[in-house]
Chain A
Amino acid sequence: MYCYKCGSFLNGSDMCNSCGAKVRVYKKVLQLSNSYYNMGLVKAKNRDLTGASEYLNRSLKLNKRNTDARNLLGLVYFEMGEVVQAFKEWIISDNLQPDDNIATKYIKKLQSNQTKLNTINQTLKKYNVALNYAKNGDDDVAIIQLKKILNINPHLVKGHLLLALIYMKKGNYERAKKPITKVLKIDTNNPLAKRYLIELNTATELKITDTNLNKNKQNVFRDYEKEQIEKEIRSGYDINIPDKQEKTYFNSNSYIFTIINIFVGIAVGVIATYFLIMPARVGEINAKHNKEMLKLDSRIESLNNDNRTLEDQVSSITSERDNLSGQLENKGTESSQILGDYDNLLAAMKAFNSKDYVNAAIDISKIVDANRSQAFTELYQSIQPEAYKQAATAYYNNGVNQAKSAGNVDKLNTAISNLTEVFKYDYQSVDYATAANYLGEVYEKRYDITIGADVATAAAYKEEALNNMASLINNVLSQDSGKNSKAIENLQNHINSLTAK
């Protein structure tokens, strides 16, 4: 409790210790304000929002700084759909007590959800429009508008009340009950809702009484008729009283008429439905279908676009996959080459160690890359020259010996093979001019032996021999023509000689 003059905290004394103002009555006023707040709180808890707002307003008239009362009043207004009133109370409360005030939280919460705030504001604007319609007598439009508003903002008490009033004005008392009940659920003691409900009940009772009165009138009329007939009978008039059969006939006739009327009613209803309601319904359904079709079209278009994008992606991924598998294949080939090179080097080593220089040289010659690693290269270089030298020597010796002694085509072929092999290895370590000469000789000799027996084979041998010798000159010996001139000369002589045959 603070002094109204200087704002200092007041203790139990009737005088302000700071400014000396007399505060006895002021304290009483504040206590009264708190009492009203408590009563307002009880009413609010019981959902008597109108009662609560009255007490809380009284509390604030006594003490404008009663923050609890003001905040609660804001909440009560908010619950009744009066958002602007609620905002107003909370903002005033926040200004009067900026620190430790729950109103600050309420304001922030409401402001943080701009979508909801906008929606509420829209409903308030539409309510004003609907009110205008109602005041101008456009009740149906007002009803449609209010229904929409109340769907979005179901706590707008005055919206429900206006809707109920319009229904009542139109004599639609049953429908008016619903919004009134809703109001009484939100605000149990709403005076307007109660007043409308009383009015509604009275009007409904009157309607029922009217109906009963009409029924009574009919009964009275029937009784009067009956009485008149009986009187006539009693008075002895000769009247034609219908016998039982006629009466039955009359009654059954009336039943038939009733049934006919029912059928006629049904037929009229069906015709009305067909001519009035069906076209509108069909139009509505068509419009709905068109909308659906448009939606589906756009959806199909979108799906087609997605499909095209996916196809592009698939094509891109496929080409990427092909590229990668190509790379993988290359890698695989490369890997198998590496493994092959190592295998060949190992085999060559094995053969070299067992002095099988020919096979060592063959294995070495299969190595694709001699620089796989430093160790690989070193090992390669340690055996390759010797192996090639020894292999060339071995082939040379075998080839020359076979060339000298060969007497048939098979042996000549072996000699050719050996002599040709000389040039695959370190041919310069042997007398390769002689080797070339022997090679030429055995080629010629093979031709000479064959020509007598088989001309075609001899021609094939000749062609092969000329090609091989030319290849040896061009691809091997001409690389160092200075040193190899004798070998080239020997081969060339044999080429000339064989060509001439």
Chain B
Amino acid sequence: MINYDEEIKKFTPSLEVDDTEDAIYNSNIKDITDVIQDLLEEMKGNE
């Protein structure tokens, strides 16, 4: 059985059009290649 009140609490407010800029700046668009490159650079730094 669903606890309705708890379920409603899980709903998050929607982003408004004015928030688009913040949403873009805050989004993490790194892909796996970026992550691996970061890892490799970290490893090089450790050496």
Of the candidates A82, A127, A166, A202, the one whose C-beta lies within 8 Å of that of B8 is A166
The answer, among B11, B19, B37, for a CB contact under 8 Å with A158, is: B11
Residues B1-47 near A (CB distance < 8 A): 1-2, 4-5, 7-9, 11, 13-20, 23-24, 27, 29-34, 37
User: Is the Cβ of A92 less than 8 Å from the Cβ of B24?
Assistant: yes
Pair B8/A158 contact, Cβ less than 8 Å? no
What B residues does A84 contact at CB under 8 A? 14-17, 19-20, 23
Q: Does A76 reach chain B (CB closer than 8 Å)?
A: no
- Distance (whole angstroms) from the CB of A225 to the closest CB of chain B: 37
CB closest chain-B residue, reference A169 = B4
Across the interface, do B17 and A117 meet the contact criterion of CB distance under 8 Å? yes
A289 interface hit (Cβ, 8 Å): no
Q: How distant is the Cα of A266 from the Cα of B18 in the complex, in angstroms?
A: 56
Residues of chain B within 8 A of A387, CB atoms compared: none
Verify B17–A120 contact, CB threshold 8 A. Answer: yes
- What residues of B have a CB within 8 angstroms of the CB of A199 in the complex? 1-2
Which chain B positions have C-beta within 8 A of A195? 2
Q: Is the interface of A mostly helix, strand, loop or mixed?
A: helix
Closest to A202 in B: B1
Smallest CB-CB separation from A95: which chain B residue?
A: B24
- Which A residues lie within 8 Å of B15 (CB)? 82, 84-85, 124
What's the nearest-Cβ distance from chain A to residue B14, in Å? 5
Total residues of chain A contacting the partner, CB 8 A:
39
A63 within 8 A of B: yes
Query: Is the beta-carbon distance between B8 and A87 smaller than 8 angstroms?
Result: no
Nearest B residue to A206, CB-CB: B1
Shortest A53–chain B CB gap in Å is: 15
Once the chains are docked, how many angstroms separate the CA of A169 from the CA of B9? Answer: 13
Q: Which chain A residues lie closer than 8 Å to B31 at the CB level?
A: 60-65
Bound-state CA distance A131–B23 (Å) is 20
Does A41 have its Cβ within 8 Å of any Cβ on chain B?
Answer: no
Name the residue on A nearest B7 (C-beta). A165
Residues of chain B lying within 8 A (CB to CB) of residue A60: 29, 31
What is the CB-to-nearest-CB distance from B31 to chain A, in angstroms, rounded to a whole number? 4
Residues of A within 8 A of B37 (CB): 4
Contacts of A183 in B (CB 8 A): none
A124→B24 contact, CB < 8 A: no
Please tell me which one of the listed residues B11, B18, B20, B29 contacts residue A162 in the complex, with CB atoms under 8 A apart.
B11
Distance in angstroms between the alpha carbons of A378 and B11 in the assembled complex? 108
CA distance A25 to B15 in the complex (A): 37
B-contacting residues, A77-92, CB 8 Å: 82-85, 87-88, 91-92
30 contacts between A and B (CB under 8 A): A26-B33, A29-B32, A62-B32, A63-B31, A64-B29, A64-B31, A65-B31, A84-B14, A84-B19, A84-B20, A84-B23, A87-B17, A88-B23, A91-B20, A91-B24, A121-B16, A124-B17, A127-B13, A128-B13, A128-B14, A135-B8, A135-B11, A165-B2, A165-B8, A166-B4, A168-B4, A169-B5, A196-B2, A199-B1, A202-B1
List of 4 A-B pairs having minimum Cβ-Cβ separation, nearest first = A169-B4, A64-B31, A84-B15, A121-B17
